[in-house]
Amino acid sequence: MNNPSIILLRGLPGAGKSTLANLLSENGKYPVCSIDSYFENEKGEYHFKFDENHLAYKKCEAQTEEAMQLKAPKIFVANTFTLDWEMEPYFKLAHTYNYQIHVITVENYHGSENIHNVSTEQLEKMAEKFKVKLLSYKNGN
């Protein structure tokens, strides 16, 4: 297991993805990338701007690639990743830089509220789209 690893932490807002990523990064020893960081100011306050969301995605991908170029042994990416296409750029980066990829789904068993003011209605819509791949199929089986 000498290959470096990228770990995608996925889940709905409030699940604890960022908290877990920061814990696993051993107090910043390993990089943590997220779309949320784009919307945080220097005080750590979160201010989401929908019209800049595409920029946040690109910045997160760029930070991840930069960490790979620097040969970080572990990289954590904490985003909702409710849809498969959202993970695809990270799969491609992992292939390009020879990183082993892991996907961890984080669930909100701790009962925390999301800090991003995502409405219950929006959370339910996100949950409906959320799919977990439990099996790997080869040759159509």
141: in domain: no
User: Quick one: what percent of the chain has pLDDT higher than 90?
Assistant: 52
Write down the number of H helices and E strands in the chain.
4, 4
Residue 98 CA: distances (Å) to CA of 27, 61, 101, 115, 138: 25, 16, 9, 35, 22
pLDDT tens digit string along 70-85?
999 999 999 989 888 9
Q: Which residues of 102-123 are buried (b: 16+ CB within 10 A; e: fewer)?
A: ebeebebeeeeebeeebeeeee
122: in domain: yes
Q: Distance (Å, rounded) from C-alpha 7 to C-alpha 34?
A: 12
140: in domain: no
pLDDT tens digit string along 19-32?
999 999 998 999 99
Q: How many domains does the chain have?
A: 1
pTM here is: 0.84
Beta bridge partners of 104: 9
49: in domain: yes
Residue 125 belongs to domain spanning? 5-129
